[in-house]
Amino acid sequence: MEKARPLWANSLQFVFACISYAVGLGNVWRFPYLCQMYGGGSFLVPYIIMLIVEGMPLLYLELAVGQRMRQGSIGAWRTISPYLSGVGVASVVVSFFLSMYYNVINAWAFWYLFHSFQDPLPWSVCPLNGNHTGYDEECEKASSTQYFWYRKTLNISPSLQENGGVQWEPALCLLLAWLVVYLCILRGTESTGKVVYFTASLPYCVLIIYLIRGLTLHGATNGLMYMFTPKGSSALSLLAFQIEQLANPKAWINAATQIFFSLGLGFGSLIAFASYNEPSNNCQKHAIIVSLINSFTSIFASIVTFSIYGFKATFNYENCLKKVSLLLTNTFDLEDGFLTASNLEQVKGYLASAYPSKYSEMFPQIKNCSLESELDTAVQGTGLAFIVYTEAIKNMEVSQLWSVLYFFMLLMLGIGSMLGNTAAILTPLTDSKIISSHLPKEAISGLVCLVNCAIGMVFTMEAGNYWFDIFNDYAATLSLLLIVLVETIAVCYVYGLRRFESDLKAMTGRAVSWYWKVMWAGVSPLLIVSLFVFYLSDYILTGTLKYQAWDASQGQLVTKDYPAYALAVIGLLVASSTMCIPLAALGTFVQRRLKRGDADPVA
Partner 1 sequence: MLWLLFFLVTAIHAELCQPGAENAFKVRLSIRTALGDKAYAWDTNEEYLFKAMVAFSMRKVPNREATEISHVLLCNVTQRVSFWFVVTDPSKNHTLPAVEVQSAIRMNKNRINNAFFLNDQTLEFLKIPSTLAPPMDPSVPIWIIIFGVIFCIIIVAIALLILSGIWQRRRKNKEPSEVDDAEDKCENMITIENGIPSDPLDMKGGHINDAFMTEDERLTPL
Residue 337 CB, shortest distance to partner 1, in Å, is 4
Q: Per rule CB under 8 A, is residue 187 in the interface with partner 1?
A: yes
Residue 576 CB, shortest distance to partner 1, in Å, is 30
Q: Per rule CB under 8 A, is residue 69 in the interface with partner 1?
A: yes
The residue (of 115 and 560) whose beta carbon lies closer to partner 1 is 115
Q: Is 265 annotated as a binding residue?
A: no
Q: Per rule CB under 8 A, is residue 10 in the interface with partner 1?
A: yes
> Candidates 122-130, 345-353, 421-429, 467-475 — which segment interacts with partner 1 by CB under 8 A?
122-130
Q: Is 7 annotated as a binding residue?
A: no
CA 47 to chain centre: 17
Q: Which amino acid is at 393?
A: I
Distances (CA, A) of 123 to 82, 117, 552: 55, 12, 17
Residue 336 CB, shortest distance to partner 1, in Å, is 5
Residue 77 CB, shortest distance to partner 1, in Å, is 13
**Residue (of 594, 170, 526) closest to 382 by Cα position:** 170
Q: Is 262 annotated as a binding residue?
A: yes
Contact 392, 73 (CB under 8 A): no
Residue 85 CB, shortest distance to partner 1, in Å, is 15
The residues with which 558 forms a beta bridge, in sequence order, are 549
The residue (of 68 and 213) whose beta carbon lies closer to partner 1 is 68
Whether residue 82 has a cis bond before it, omega within 30° of 0? no
Gap between the Cα atoms of 74 and 83, Å rounded: 11
Q: Per rule CB under 8 A, is residue 117 in the interface with partner 1?
A: yes
Contact 181, 422 (CB under 8 A): yes
DSSP symbol at 461: B
Near partner 1 by CB under 8 A: residue from 201, 216, 330, 537? 330
The residue (of 323 and 560) whose beta carbon lies closer to partner 1 is 323
Q: Per rule CB under 8 A, is residue 11 in the interface with partner 1?
A: yes
Q: Per rule CB under 8 A, is residue 125 in the interface with partner 1?
A: yes
**Residue (of 112, 201, 148, 145) closest to 402 by Cα position:** 112
The residue (of 335 and 598) whose beta carbon lies closer to partner 1 is 335
Residue 335 CB, shortest distance to partner 1, in Å, is 4
Q: Per rule CB under 8 A, is residue 179 in the interface with partner 1?
A: yes
How much of the chain is helix, strand and coil, in % rounded to 5? 75, 5, 20
Q: Of residues 242-281, which lie at the interface with partner 1 (CB under 8 A)?
A: 278-281
Give the number of residues in contact with partner 1, rule: CB under 8 A. 54
Q: Per rule CB under 8 A, is residue 186 in the interface with partner 1?
A: yes
Q: Per rule CB under 8 A, is residue 335 in the interface with partner 1?
A: yes
φ/ψ of 118, rounded to 5, equals -120, 155
Q: Of residues 345-364, which lie at the interface with partner 1 (CB under 8 A)?
A: none
Q: Of residues 396-415, which lie at the interface with partner 1 (CB under 8 A)?
A: none
Near partner 1 by CB under 8 A: residue from 440, 496, 522, 597? 440
Helix (H, G, I), strand (E, B) or coil at 559: strand
Distances (CA, A) of 35 to 31, 42, 91, 254: 6, 8, 30, 10
Residue 71 CB, shortest distance to partner 1, in Å, is 8
Gap between the Cα atoms of 465 and 101, Å rounded: 10
The residue (of 337 and 601) whose beta carbon lies closer to partner 1 is 337
The greatest distance separating any two alpha carbons of the chain, rounded to the nearest whole angstrom, comes to 109
Q: Is 256 annotated as a binding residue?
A: no
Near partner 1 by CB under 8 A: residue from 33, 97, 111, 260? 111
Residue 550 CB, shortest distance to partner 1, in Å, is 23
DSSP symbol at 458: G
Helix (H, G, I), strand (E, B) or coil at 547: strand
Gap between the Cα atoms of 37 and 123, Å rounded: 28
Gap between the Cα atoms of 450 and 552, Å rounded: 34
Residue 299 CB, shortest distance to partner 1, in Å, is 26
Q: What is the dihedral of CA 538, 540, 541, 544, to 10 degrees?
A: 110
* Rounded to 5°, angle at Cα 348 from 346 and 349: 65
The residue (of 110 and 547) whose beta carbon lies closer to partner 1 is 110
Q: Per rule CB under 8 A, is residue 172 in the interface with partner 1?
A: yes
Give 240's contacts (C-beta < 8 A, 6+ positions apart).
none
Query: Contact residues for partner 1 (CB under 8 A)?
Result: 1-5, 10-12, 68-71, 79, 110-111, 114-115, 117-118, 125, 127-128, 132-135, 172-173, 176, 179-180, 182-183, 186-187, 191, 278-282, 285, 329-330, 333-337, 440, 442, 503, 508-509
Residue list, annotated binding site? 22-23, 27, 262, 294, 413, 417
Residue list, annotated binding site for Na(+)? 22-23, 27, 262, 294, 413, 417
